[in-house]
Every structure is written in structure tokens, then in C-alpha cells.
Structure 1
Amino acid sequence: MKIITWNCNMAFRKKAKLILAHQPDVLIIPECEHPDKFNFDIDFPKPTSTLWFGKNQNKGLGIFSYNDFELTVLDNHNENLRMIVPIKVNKGNINFNLFAIWANNPDDKDGQYVEQVWKAIHHYDSLISQTNTILIGDFNSNTIWDKPRRIGNHSSVVKRLEDKGIYSVYHSHYKQNQGLEAHPTLYLYRHQDKPYHLDYCFVSEDILQNLQAVEIGEYEYWTKFSDHVPIIATFKSC
């Protein structure tokens, strides 16, 4: 099973074939336009399931599945946390809860970025368990920006998830420390000298045990299309 997240920097319909070449089973695309703008063809085949959330038809959160993986939004989706979406993923005997994340909610004056994730992991506490759980997407955060007096900073989110047996696949696979990542996922203004690690895939320990590979996109190729590069996580099973 392969799960990919890539903030496409808008106009996904023109870029879909680039990421679909990696043959994802589940694909999380922040800054994706509404699917009504898509024209499916040989380079952009119609997904098994399509979900989209947002107010701006040109820039929302898209979630797509292929290879008969089915996506269903869970009934207790909190629309106040609209860019953090709880989804049931199902294919045969494979079942897990996936939280698709684009931490970007300007309407929340109490915190529109990582604070959204902090609120979500508390709101969905009963769904975020030590088994069958994945949180993935653009968290817009890193430990380097922690505000010590802010309860819901990046380190607090990481600690809360780790307490529930949920870990970053990138940090686990590459033996990296939060805030000291060797592989950026964002190049501000697409400048190579302004790198940050803002995109993550956290999984419960049972899924982590089946991790085969983690790939972070290369600057030279992907920044021709977006300021972000993809995270590609491959698992033996789930």
C-alpha cells in the first residue's frame, strides 16, 4: 500500500500525472482545486473515491484513492476543523482511520495552523488509537517555531501522538529528530536556501511495523511545479 501527500500549489489538474506516476493507493493533496475542474484522461484516470473540502474552489483539500480503496468521511467530522478530515479507508480486509490534514484555517483566530491539529487530535481522541490510524498532510509546522507558552505547538502535537503510539514515518525511517530534519518538504518561494520540513505522515505502531520505504521528493524536479515536495510512504500491508 502506498500513501502520498503533496501540497501541489494549486492547479492540480495540470500536475496530477506527475504524482500519479508513483502509483498511489491513497493521495492527499492540499491546495487542490475542486474536482469539477478535472478532465479525467489517460494521464489522470478517474479515482476510485474522491473527496474535497474548502471554501475556495481553486484551493482546497483533495483526497483521492485508487486500486479499489474506498474513502468515507466519518459521521463525526467537525466542520469547524474542516481542513482536518476523518476518513475511513477500506479495501477488503484493510481498514483504518485516516486524518487528511491541511493545517490552514484563517477563520480560527485562536490559531489557524498547528493549533488546528492540536484541537483535532483532542476532538477525535477516541478515533486516534494505537492501531489502524494515519494522520497525513501539510501540518504547516515544525518544532523550530514552537512557542513555549503556546499549549498546542508542534512539539506538543508530536508528544501527544507518541503517547498514543503514533509516530512520524519519516523520522522513524531516517532516524531524524524533530526540528533537525535533513530532508525539507517546503522550499519557501521555491528557493533552495529556504528549506523547511512541514509535511508529515504519522502512523500507529502496527502500521509502522509494515513500513517499507519513505521517499521525500527532490528539489530539482518538484519545485518546477510547487513549493512543496511529496512524501511517499510504502507499506507491506495495513
Structure 2
Amino acid sequence: MRIVTWNVCDGFNRKFGHLERLDPDLAIIQEVRPGCLAFAGLSERSLWLGDEGQKGLAVIGYGGWKLSPAMSISERWFCPVIAHNGSQVLHIVAVWVDSSQECGPPTLSALAKLRDFVEAAPTIIAGDFNHCVAMDKRKSPGKRFSDVLKIFDELGLASAWHDHKQEEHGQETAATLYWTWNRDRQFHIDFLFRSRSIDVEQALLGTYEQYVPTKISDHVPLVVDLKI
């Protein structure tokens, strides 16, 4: 199956074709408004989290994949979902961490509350974490992305991109965000973590040339093919 996570930088009514050309089975989309999902004809196949009319977080199922809401937690931008396709069941957590505050503490808190959900079935946690180890310098314990990675490891989850590309966190060869639309301000802050029982067949990133100078988004999509 193919999963795409992408911060579309609003205006999804003009951009959903770019997503659908990637042919996802499941898509996790940040900065999307419910009216834009309706315009794209995706309301009935999606779950959305946010304030009405404002930018929010969505999970979209394509093909035979159906979505149902799971538990709710107080950390707002973590959306647990159960995905079904016949006998196949996956636990999904869509993520859009609020960058207006420290990103480490709410992520660690959310992972603690999600432990039972993660351990109950093969799980994918994916989205815009707005954080990475390159941003850890001068941060105190509990605020570092390296602390988040330790919890993912304890939960038996690992980054699809880093495993497939055999790269270390902080040494990525490609960025997911071009901050202020600037090629020289690159960060790798969008991730797909999956249970280690799920094999990664391919992990791809969109290119700067395709998405950023064209003003589609300052983020590029992360596309991961998994063997379920």
C-alpha cells in the first residue's frame, strides 16, 4: 500500500490533483480546510480534525480503505484512526504538531497516551512534526526530537525514510520543508514511523523544483510504499 503525508500549505481545493497523481491508498494532509475536502469530493472518505472553516488535519482513504475514528487524546493535533481494507487493519495516527510552541513536550505526551493503541495492532504515525534533531541544539531534555526518537524506538516504530535510505536522523540527503520558500533553509520535519513488522518497499520525496518555486507548497510530499 502507498501512504502519502503532505503539508499542503492551505488551498487544497487547488492542489488535490497533485496529491491524487501520487496514487495514495491513504493520505495524511496538514493545513487543509473541510470546505476544500468537500470541493474535492473527499468529505465522505476522510476524517478531519480542527476548527470549522479553519486549517486542520485530515486522513483520506482511497480504494478499499475505510476509516473510523479511534480514541481521542488531549494533545490536539494527534488524530488516531483505524483503517480497514477487508481483513487488513491498521492503526494510524495523523500528526500536525503546533509550531507556535515547543514541539517535543506535546509529542512525548501524546506518545505516552497512545502506547496501548500502538501496541494493539500494526501502526503508522505520520505527518508534520515541525521538529527534527537538527533543531535540538541548546534544547533541554524533554524538548529534543532525539527524546521523541527514543520513545518511538521503545514502541517498536522506526522512520520509513531513514530505514529505506539507510540515513541517520540529522544527516538526511533530502528536505521536506523549505522554510520561507527558501532553498537554503531546508529541514527534514515530515516523517512516517511504522511498526518494524511492516516492510518498507520504497520511500520518496517530492522535489523542490516541482513544489516550491511553483508555489504549490513549501513542503514536499513524503511517499512511502509499504508491504502490509
Q: Show the 5 A alignment for 1:34-183.
A: 34-35=34-35, 38-40=38-40, 46=42, 49-55=45-51, 57-74=53-70, 76-78=71-73, 80-104=74-98, 111-129=101-119, 131-146=121-136, 147-183=138-174
Query: Aligned partners of 2:37 and 2:85: how far apart in 1?
Result: 27
Q: What is the match of residue 30 of structure 1?
A: 30
Deviation at 1:158, TM superposition (A): 0.8
Query: RMSD of aligned C-alpha atoms?
Result: 1.9
Post-superposition CA distance 1:102-130 (Å, at most 9, x none)? 00175xxxx55232221110011111228
Contact 1:84–1:120 (8 Å) recurs in 2: yes
Equivalent residue number for residue 220 of structure 1: 209
- TM-score relative to the length of structure 1: 0.88
Q: What is the rounded CA distance, in whole Å, between the counterparts of 1:103 and 1:189 in structure 2?
A: 18
Task: Give the gaps of 5 or more residues in structure 2.
Answer: none
- Deviation of the 1:94 alpha carbon: 1.1
Cα distance, 1:153 vs. partner?
Answer: 2.0
Using the TM superposition, give the Cα deviation of residue 96 of structure 1 relative to its aligned residue in structure 2, in angstroms. Answer: 1.2
Deviations 1:60-104 (A, max 9, x none): 111111102111111x311x2121011101111210110000001
Count of residue pairs the alignment pairs up: 225
Shift, 1:38, TM fit: 3.0
**Contact 1:130–1:206 (CA<8 Å) still a contact in 2?**
no
From 197, 209, 228, the counterpart of 1:206:
197
Following superposition, the deviation at residue 226 of structure 1 comes to 0.5
Change in CA separation of 1:16 and 1:121 when aligned onto 2, cut-off 3 Å = same
TM-score, normalised to structure 2, is 0.92
Q: Mind listing any 5+ residue stretches in structure 1 that lack a counterpart?
A: none
Q: Percent identity?
A: 27
Instruction: In structure 1, give the amino acid aligned to 2:224.
Output: A
Amino acid at match of 1:26: L
Which has the larger displacement, 183-192 or 54-63?
Answer: 54-63
> What amino acid is the match of 1:98?
I
